[in-house]
Amino acid sequence: MTLVTDSPLTLAQPEDAHTRAEWEAATAAVLRKSRRLVDDDPDGAVWDKLTRTTLDGIGITPLGLPGGAAAAVRPSREGAWDIRSLVADPDAKLANEAALVDLDGGVTSLWLAADADTDVATTLKDVLLDLAPVVLDAPSATTAVAEAFLALPGAKHPDSNLGIDPLGVMLRDIPLAVDEAVAELQTLARKADQHDIRAIVVDATAAHDLGASDGQELGWSIAAGVAYLRWLTDHGLSLADAARQIEFRYAATDEQFPTIAKLRAARVLWARVLELSGLTGDDAPPQRQHAVTSRPMLSKYDPYVNMLRGTVAAFAAGVGGADAVTVLPFDSANGRPDGFGRRIARNVNHLLIDESHVAAVADPAGGAYAVEQLTADLAAAGWAEFQQLETEWEGGHDFDPFRARIAAVVEKRENDIARRKRPLTGLSEFPNLAETLPERVADPLNDRVRRYGASFEALRDEPAAQPVFLATLGTIAQHTARATFVSNLLAAGGIAVDVAGPTAGVADLTAAYDAQPVVCLAGTDAAYEEWGAAAAAALREAGATYVIIAGKPVDYADDSAAMGVDALGFLTRTRERLA
């Protein structure tokens, strides 16, 4: 490995020591060949060209350099993390069957989504509650479900949790009065303490599912956690006992390093809260983290790609130090997952733990400059959001300003996705119009989630009534690059193409043309210059009403499509012409 520093270092071999300036010069040479830098640009400009900015405004540089990073709090767990499956079928017998199959398949805890109609006893029948922790999630019937669970024999595993999260419920816009929520939390917290289990889950996915950035998700979780500490300590619990009642749930995405850093930053922030509250050392219980693969990142189309997204997210969660990890089945965006999806989901964790040995090292990303710096930057962003929420909540819990900040992030992300700066494989990139989607029963858990690819999915849900005539200029070798580009782009909007094939001139194009209202020219710049205008004119004369060119705009075409185009805008305009 080559180490880049500001000055040469003595390594195993002296020739392996290089300076930062040498790396900049070598990198600049590559960028000049690709025309991302010009000859007059200084070599140091490579940092600006290669630095990616997150939705929190954090710059991620191409190389991690030493300096400035705060030490992260190491994970509390030793060895493998808890493999937690989500059980959410409203049919208690089917839910019970799924739970038992998961437990037989190596799952070590259950996350039970429930409501007022859930038969908790039947759902958890034959589950060894003293061995398998159960975390409840019943926002609309918290007390009823919690009491039904506590009535079951053996429901005393220390890692079980009643799942109380009134602030998260209200953020999801589920009706709940604050006074009633506080009273409910205090009552159930006392009952949980009597059963030696936890009572509270700070579910930061409530913010993530709305579109929050990593920093906003962190800030929300800390603000909610602090609010719960106040509510509990105001009514008799010690600070240490109150802190032990709380578990935190975060989303893990397929952005590997930000997910690792987010979980590490969360531990830093919570440790700082406890320290400022007077708890340090052994008196301060470590933050318990449950990471669940992101529901917004899943795609309904080409859902099998979700297996890859889930694997990367689970890897990041494990490396980031999560105590429990839930991999959502790959078909979750299509509705309630089937047995195959659930099996693949739990096996992802087994592959990471038992075959890849990811859990064998505590905090394996610790010490890496890039991860340490990103951890510190995310911790700073999360703390700033936490302070903002603290100010806004002084007179009551008004969520509108927070929702407005999330909306700004959503708009930025949507713009990146529309321009395919954040590509979604199988949806905005490499779509397959001929695919058959798995049929699943609708899942209400998807109702309050805006998937990142929702705009593209809406186009695919209603395919265009007519295809675009792809007027390919020249031989296959000459037109294939732009023809492939624009075919994929159109398919992302549910638009098929009729391809002219190899052509030698205007006559070949018009012979292949079949009265489609929209045509798209695809060829080389030389072909456009030689006979592009004539081709467009001939196709208009044959009946075309709208001409697109794959490449830079020209005066004889109505629209153009090139790298960096606002894909959603382009597809919407094209579909309007096809209609």
Helix (H) or strand (E) holding 549: strand 546-550
Rounded to whole angstroms, how far apart are CA atoms 545 and 517?
A: 5
Treating both helix axes as pointing N-terminal to C-terminal, what angle do 256-276 and 369-392 enclose, rounded to 10 degrees?
Answer: 50
List pLDDT tens digits, range 348-368.
999 999 999 999 988 898 888
Which one has a higher pLDDT value, 222 or 34? Answer: 222
Sign of the C-alpha dihedral, residues 68, 71, 75, 80? Answer: positive
List pLDDT tens digits, range 55-80.
999 998 888 777 655 566 888 888 99
Q: Is 304's pLDDT higher than 70?
A: yes
Q: Say if CB 239 and CB 273 are below 8 A apart.
A: no
Of 163, 226, 225, nearest to 198 (Cα)? 163
Q: Say if CB 470 and CB 498 are below 8 A apart.
A: yes
Which one has a higher pLDDT value, 236 or 308? Answer: 308
Query: pLDDT at position 413, please?
Result: 96
pLDDT band at residue 2, thresholds of 50, 70 and 90?
very low
> Is CATH 3.40.50.720 correct for 462-578?
no
Confirm whether pTM is higher than 0.85: yes
Which one has a higher pLDDT value, 3 or 504? Answer: 504
Rounded to whole angstroms, how far apart are CA atoms 345 and 330?
A: 7
Q: Is 9's pLDDT higher than 70?
A: no
> Is CATH 3.20.20.240 correct for 82-386?
yes
Query: pLDDT at position 3, please?
Result: 44
3-state secondary structure 57-108: CCEECCCCCCCCCCCCCCCCCCCCCEEEEEECCCCHHHHHHHHHHHHHCCCC
Q: Which amino acid is at 524?
A: T
Average pLDDT value for the chain: 92
Of 131, 97, 544, 556, nearest to 338 (Cα)? 97
Strand-strand pairing, 546-550 and 324-326: unpaired
- Indicate where the chain has its CATH 3.40.50.280 domain(s): 462-578
Rounded to whole angstroms, how far apart are CA atoms 109 and 201?
A: 15
Query: pLDDT at position 1, please?
Result: 35
% residues pLDDT > 70 (the chain) = 96
List pLDDT tens digits, range 543-567.
999 999 999 999 999 999 999 899 9
Strand partners, 162: none
What average pLDDT score do residues 535-539 get?
96
Structure tokens at 362: 């505590």
Query: pLDDT at position 6, please?
Result: 52
Strand partners, 499: 470
List pLDDT tens digits, range 156-193.
899 999 999 999 999 998 887 778 888 888 899 999 98
Query: pLDDT at position 69, please?
Result: 58
Going from the C-alpha of 148 to that of each of 66, 130, 142, 160, the distances in angstroms are 53, 16, 10, 14
Helix (H) or strand (E) holding 52: strand 52-53
Query: pLDDT at position 68, please?
Result: 56
% residues pLDDT > 90 (the chain) = 79
- Indicate where the chain has its CATH 3.20.20.240 domain(s): 82-386
